[in-house]
Amino acid sequence: MPDALLSDATIGHDPTASSEPSYDARPQSIPGCVHRRPRLRTRRARPSPVSTHRIVIVGGGAGGLELATRLGDRLGPRGLRGGRAEVTLVDRSPTHVWKPMLHQVAAGSLDPDGHALDYLAQARWHHFRFRRGQMVGLDRTAREIELAPLHDDEGVLVVPARRIGYDTLVIAVGSQVNDFGTPGAARHAISLDSVADAQRFHQRLINACMRANDQEEALRPGQLSIAIIGAGATGVELAAELHHSTRELIAFGMDRLRADRDIRITLVEAGPRVLPALPETLSEGAEALLKDLRIDVRTGEKVTAVRADGIETASGLFVPAEISVWAAGIRAPAFLSGLDGLETNRIDQLVLQPTLATTRDPDVFALGDCASCPWLGHAPGANGSVVNVPPRAQAAHQQAATLYRNLVARIDRRALDAFRYRDFGSLVSLGEHSTVGSLMGALVGGRLFIEGLFARMMYISLHKMHEYALHGSARVAMDTLARLFSRSSEPRVKLH
Ligand SMILES: Cc1cc2nc3c(=O)[nH]c(=O)nc-3n(C[C@H](O)[C@H](O)[C@H](O)COP(=O)(O)OP(=O)(O)OC[C@H]3O[C@@H](n4cnc5c(N)ncnc54)[C@H](O)[C@@H]3O)c2cc1C
């Protein structure tokens, strides 16, 4: 049954009402909303005593899942203010893995199965509904989102194309890498956009090591070489993580390989330094650490083509590589471009007002990487331009908190708050055993460079904050302890 019909059948059912066909003319709970189109009903029905507001959140990532959890707890049928809203989360995947961990999944130092959260379980525990599907369109007049048909791995249809009705819509579909149309990038370079991408990279890494370990002849040039395009936080973290995990992997039975001799990791950056978004002091420290790890850092090299056997740069450099990873730049998913007349920017992000509502529709909100949100209080950028909130997990986390308050206020007919981003700094992990270079900003009233154990703990705390928002403190403490014990009895790298 389509969701729109499902929701009509489950809300406002009254056994005492007439069984004659009736029209659902329930009032909407907020000012400024257009009434839902009357729908002919053939079953007994009555208007709900308290009108139920339909909140649909698309994208259960760093921001969307926190928002659905908090709204379900507060407004869902068994929440603190039970039944005020019907909260539905839509995601194309069945499980959630926190995206900043994907470089660890790719390197094999983290098994996603142990960290994946089942959306259906979270929905049951926190009183919201989950619908699996990929959003492909929007009908703002009918207030419905459009989902593509869902097929299984063998191509068999599971659920046909559907529409889901909303009164308030939140789009939180994240971002994907931006290869700027570089020839060969889409075909030959792996991105780290999803768990499936990260696992694909890991599988290719293991296969490459096994192949090299078993071959009689000497390794050919570029064999067991990995090129990482983009030395932002993702590229730097991946390079450092790979340094450690390849050594672990080789230690498990790859007896003919020697990591220092056979594995080569090259980090290629178009800008003049690694971590271009961070202060120079931090970049210099990080680059020195990368070089200590024998990672070949090439700055000032703009990649012009990706080939099956390596990458070419504008200066004429060719970096041989068996595996290439694109980790430079982001853009929002293409389907958002001009989505039913909503305003988008040049990288397809939805343009927002400070309240996190989209500029052209007060019933459609967005958060996280797919949103272009003004950073209130930040000094103007080049040519006096408005600076936007950066695409980071900490921004998605803070936006989810503001949007939670704003959506409750919207139902209560109160004014909405403006989102104010607080920059707590940028932390870059250089692997489990290495120093973590880091920077904190507003938290300490300026800039403070930290490293070592304290920085490592700050880095981990970002993930813990996400887990706390999803599960509460008791479960986070228990899960942390359980993982500590299980890690001590398992290999530190995933071997298949
Ligand atoms: C390797 C890596 C390391 C990172 N490290 C850090 C870090 O250390 N610190 C930091 O602050 N940030 C980090 N980031 C950035 C951070 O992951 C993102 O900023 C953050 O995840 C954005 O959150 P989000 O909720 O907007 O989107 P996401 O967390 O990306 O979630 C988007 C969700 O939408 C779903 N979805 C997408 N399209 C559709 C569709 N059409 N229909 C239905 N569902 C859809 C996806 O399945 C996903 O569940 C890192 C990113 C990567 C890739």
Which pLDDT tens digit goes with each residue over 297-344? 999 999 999 999 999 999 999 999 999 999 999 999 999 998 999 999
Give the Å distance between the CA of 297 and the centre of ligand 1: 26
Give me the amino acid identity at 323. Answer: I
Judged by average pLDDT, the poorest of 30-39, 150-159, 385-394 is 30-39
**Per-residue model confidence (pLDDT) at position 29:** 40
Dihedral-angle region of residue 96 (phi above 0 means left; psi in -120 to 50 means alpha; beta otherwise) = beta
> What sign results for the dihedral spanned by CA atoms 450, 431, 118, 373?
positive
pLDDT at 74 over 90: yes
For 475, residues 6+ apart whose C-beta sits below 8 A from its C-beta are none
Closest ligand 1 atom to residue 428 Cα is 8
Give the Å distance between the CA of 97 and the centre of ligand 1: 9
Closest C-alpha residue for ligand 1 atom 5: 100
Residues whose beta carbon lies within 6 Å of some atom of ligand 1:
58-64, 90-93, 99-100, 102-103, 134-135, 172-174, 192, 233-234, 333, 368-370, 391-394, 396, 462
Report the chain's mean pLDDT, rounded to a whole number: 84
Give the Å distance between the CA of 58 and the centre of ligand 1: 13
Taking a C-beta distance cutoff of 8 angstroms, is the pair 214, 207 a contact?
A: no
- Residue 240: both structure tokens together: 């450092």
Task: Average the pLDDT over 379-395 and give the result.
Answer: 90
Give the Å distance between the CA of 315 and the centre of ligand 1: 33
Closest C-alpha residue for ligand 1 atom 31: 61
Closest C-alpha residue for ligand 1 atom 29: 61
How far apart (Å, rounded) are the C-alpha atoms in residues 117 and 214?
Answer: 37
Neighbour order of strands in the sheet with 448-450: 426-428, 437-440, 448-450
DSSP states along 99-122: GGGHHHHHHTSS-HHHH-EEHHHH
DSSP states along 278-315: S-HHHHHHHHHHHHHTT-EEE-S--EEEEETTEEEETT
Element (H, E) at 480: helix 473-488
Residue 182 half-sphere exposure toward CB, CA atoms < 13 A: 23
Closest ligand 1 atom to residue 333 Cα is 38
Taking a C-beta distance cutoff of 8 angstroms, is the pair 180, 186 a contact?
A: no
**Per-residue model confidence (pLDDT) at position 26:** 34
Closest ligand 1 atom to residue 136 Cα is 41
Task: Average the pLDDT over 431-437 and give the result.
Answer: 53
Closest ligand 1 atom to residue 61 Cα is 31
How far apart (Å, rounded) are the C-alpha atoms in residues 210 and 293?
Answer: 23
β-pairing, 85-91 vs 22-23, is unpaired
Task: Average the pLDDT over 258-270 and give the result.
Answer: 94
Taking a C-beta distance cutoff of 8 angstroms, is the pair 37, 23 a contact?
A: no
**Per-residue model confidence (pLDDT) at position 382:** 81
Which pLDDT tens digit goes with each residue over 446-464? 455 566 666 666 677 778 8
Judged by average pLDDT, the poorest of 8-22, 80-94, 234-248 is 8-22
**Per-residue model confidence (pLDDT) at position 330:** 95
How far apart (Å, rounded) are the C-alpha atoms in residues 463 and 468?
Answer: 9
- Residue 162: both structure tokens together: 């559907």
Closest ligand 1 atom to residue 427 Cα is 8
Q: Count Cβ atoms below 10 Å from residue 418 Cβ, excluding itself.
A: 12
Closest ligand 1 atom to residue 96 Cα is 49
Question: Among the ranges 5-14, 70-79, 103-112, 327-336, which has the highest mean pLDDT value?
Answer: 327-336
Give the Å distance between the CA of 393 and the centre of ligand 1: 7
The more confident residue out of 446 and 280 is: 280
Residue among 109, 115, 135, 392 to mutate when testing ligand 1 (max atoms within 8 A of CB): 392
Taking a C-beta distance cutoff of 8 angstroms, is the pair 326, 190 a contact?
A: yes
Radius of gyration of the chain (CA): 25
Give the Å distance between the CA of 175 and the centre of ligand 1: 6
The more confident residue out of 6 and 151 is: 151
Looking at residue 14, the DSSP 8-state letter turns out to be -
Residue among 481, 480, 472, 482 nearest 122 (CA): 472
Which pLDDT tens digit goes with each residue over 462-476? 788 888 889 888 888
**Per-residue model confidence (pLDDT) at position 76:** 84
Give the Å distance between the CA of 135 and the centre of ligand 1: 16
Closest C-alpha residue for ligand 1 atom 35: 59
Task: Average the pLDDT over 132-146 and give the result.
Answer: 98
Residue 30 half-sphere exposure toward CB, CA atoms < 13 A: 24
Taking a C-beta distance cutoff of 8 angstroms, is the pair 269, 278 a contact?
A: no
Q: Show the domains of the chain with their CATH numbers.
A: 3-175+332-411 (3.50.50.60), 179-327 (3.50.50.100), 424-490 (no CATH)
Element (H, E) at 452: helix 452-471
Per-residue confidence band for 78, with pLDDT thresholds at 50, 70 and 90: confident
- Straight-line distance from the first to the last Cα atom of the chain, in angstroms, rounded to the nearest whole number: 40
**Per-residue model confidence (pLDDT) at position 449:** 59
pLDDT at 228 over 90: yes
**Per-residue model confidence (pLDDT) at position 491:** 54
Task: Average the pLDDT over 358-383 and give the result.
Answer: 94
> What sign results for the dihedral spanned by CA atoms 272, 275, 278, 280?
negative
How far apart (Å, rounded) are the C-alpha atoms in residues 280 and 273?
Answer: 8
Closest C-alpha residue for ligand 1 atom 52: 100
Give the Å distance between the CA of 271 and the centre of ligand 1: 24
How far apart (Å, rounded) are the C-alpha atoms in residues 479 and 428?
Answer: 24
Alpha helices in 12-152 (DSSP H): 64-75, 102-107, 112-115, 119-125
How far apart (Å, rounded) are the C-alpha atoms in residues 474 and 436?
Answer: 28
Taking a C-beta distance cutoff of 8 angstroms, is the pair 148, 161 a contact?
A: yes
The more confident residue out of 56 and 40 is: 56
**What are φ and ψ of residue 285, in 5° steps?**
-60, -45
Give the Å distance between the CA of 368 and the centre of ligand 1: 8
pLDDT at 146 over 70: yes
How far apart (Å, rounded) are the C-alpha atoms in residues 215 and 225?
Answer: 16
Residue among 220, 226, 224 nearest 250 (CA): 224
Give the Å distance between the CA of 177 and the centre of ligand 1: 11
Per-residue confidence band for 248, with pLDDT thresholds at 50, 70 and 90: confident
